Amino acid sequence: MKALLVLDMQNGILEMKDFSEERNKIKNIIKRFKDAKDLVVLTKHIDKDPNSPLAENTEKSDIDKEFAQYADLTITKNTPSAFFGTTHISHVLNKIHFNF
């Protein structure tokens, strides 16, 4: 089994400019992973600053519905990195046998 990490496909980021080409490429990769029964992990960045486009408990911080439907697992983080800081993604992936 493989795992695909899809980082921060959130409303507040995706509305900043036209990401149509990138969205289509990412969606096609996700579909290939899903067709192969591989794991799709999405991350969601949350910012404690209420003025941030990724402020906690806002619609802008939500993962775009187009991508959320494919998530086998969603991990919330509050640092830019998915592997350093307060995120537990390495621990979670190690528990399901993806060693880093």
* Mean residue pLDDT across the chain: 88
Mean pLDDT value of segment 92-98: 69
Q: How big is the chain by its Cα radius of gyration, in Å? A: 14
8 neighbors 45 (Cβ within 8 angstroms): yes
Mean pLDDT value of segment 3-23: 95
**pLDDT of 8 higher than 80:** yes
pLDDT at 97: 65
4 neighbors 40 (Cβ within 8 angstroms): yes
Topology (CATH level 3) of domain 3-95: Rossmann fold (3.40.50)
Comparing 19-23, 28-32, 94-98, which segment has the lowest mean pLDDT? 94-98
The share of the chain scoring above pLDDT 90, in percent, equals 68
**What backbone torsions phi and psi does residue 56 show, to the nearest 5 degrees?**
-55, 140
d(CA 96, CA 25): 27
Instruction: Note the pLDDT tens digit of each residue in 32-78.
Output: 999 999 999 999 999 989 999 899 999 999 999 999 999 999 988 88
d(CA 1, CA 25): 21
d(CA 70, CA 9): 12
**pLDDT-based confidence at 100, cuts 50/70/90?**
very low
d(CA 25, CA 37): 19
26, two tokens: 């990412």
